[in-house]
């Protein structure tokens, strides 16, 4: 589990709830009509913008933000060095027996083992990386759009509340309460946007960047294995993807 994501959203919500509790009555921040307008309106607009499978994929991706730790690129370099060692001992055909949970890495191993030419391997793996970027962009865009829709529907709910309040001014004592209820929808929309949708979108984007780096390491590692199959050459080329301060020495990776 990614504790930083969980701690971030939990601490933010805790601070907001604490401010509400310390500042007055909690029930003043509860409005069923306001929730219906903001939550329902945001979901309706999102479903109108995207296909259902894209929305479901976005929520599945958001779950993975909390459920999975991001993979260290150093670990991927270590994996490629192991593949280099296997190919030197057993030949390139030996890579076909490699067991891995990464479909991309397995495909790269199969392409090398099948004696595919370098241009085909480059084209195939590059296409897959670009396709992954597009899929992830759609997932991120779902939450970016929801972050736009939520405040807009919050403002819409406020306008609805003001219209209802101004249409019944016979009792001035109800104006304050009516204004409070009207403003709650703006509060809901802003909180959802800034505390939920935008952070999740940003987190998904950062995860995508890390995943792209790992795929690029596999891509360049596969080409390096095909070209010269030298462990030092593979390490030097792949370590360039990682900042110098975060790189692990080759000896440590092979161990």
Residues 6+ apart with CB under 8 A from 242: 73, 74, 77, 213
Could you tell me the pTM of the whole model? 0.83
* Predicted confidence band of residue 48 (pLDDT cuts 50, 70, 90): very high
pLDDT digits (tens, 9 = 90+) for 198-238: 989 998 898 889 899 999 999 998 998 888 778 888 888 88
Question: Which range (34-38, 61-65, 159-163, 172-176) has the least confidence?
Answer: 172-176
Residues 6 or more apart in contact with residue 9 via CB below 8 angstroms? 195, 196, 199
Least confident of 79-83, 86-90, 176-180, 181-185: 176-180
**pLDDT given for residue 182 in this prediction:** 78
Q: How far is it, in rounded angstroms, from Cα 150 to Cα 153? A: 5
Cα separation, 123 vs 119, whole angstroms: 6
**For the chain, what is the largest distance between any 2 Cα atoms, rounded to a whole number of angstroms?**
90
Contact 86, 221 (CB under 8 A): no
Residue 29 has what DSSP assignment?
G
Burial (CB count <10 Å: 0-12, 13-18, 19+), residue 32 = exposed
Domain map (residue ranges) of the chain: 3-254
pLDDT at position 193 is 93
Show the DSSP H helices in 68-117 as ranges. Answer: 73-90, 103-113
């Amino acid at each position: 589990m990614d504790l930083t994501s969980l701690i971030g959203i939990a601490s933010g919500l805790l601070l907001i709830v604490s401010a509400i509790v310390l500042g007055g009555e909690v029930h003043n921040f509860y409005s069923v009509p306001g929730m219906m307008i903001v939550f329902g309106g945001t979901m309706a607009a999102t479903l109108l913008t995207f296909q259902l499978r894209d929305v479901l994929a976005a929520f599945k991706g958001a779950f993975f933000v909390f459920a999975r730790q991001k993979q260290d690129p150093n670990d991927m370099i270590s994996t490629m060095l192991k593949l280099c060692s296997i190919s030197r001992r057993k030949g390139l055909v030996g890579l076909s027996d490699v067991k891995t949970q990464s479909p991309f890495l397995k495909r790269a191993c199969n392409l090398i083992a099948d004696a595919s030419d370098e241009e085909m391997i480059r084209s195939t793996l590059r296409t897959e990386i670009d396709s992954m970027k597009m899929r992830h962009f759609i997932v991120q865009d779902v939450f970016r759009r929801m972050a736009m829709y939520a405040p807009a529907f919050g403002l819409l709910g406020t306008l609805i509340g003001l219209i209802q309040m101004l249409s019944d001014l016979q009792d001035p004592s109800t104006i304050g309460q009516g204004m409070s209820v009207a403003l709650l929808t703006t509060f809901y929309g802003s909180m959802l946007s800034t505390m939920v949708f935008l952070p999740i979108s940003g987190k998904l984007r950062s995860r995508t960047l890390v995943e792209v780096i790992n795929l690029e390491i596999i891509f360049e590692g596969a080409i390096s294995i095909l070209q010269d199959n030298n462990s030092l050459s593979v390490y030097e080329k792949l370590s360039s993807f990682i900042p110098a301060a975060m790189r692990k020495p080759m000896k440590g990776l092979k161990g």
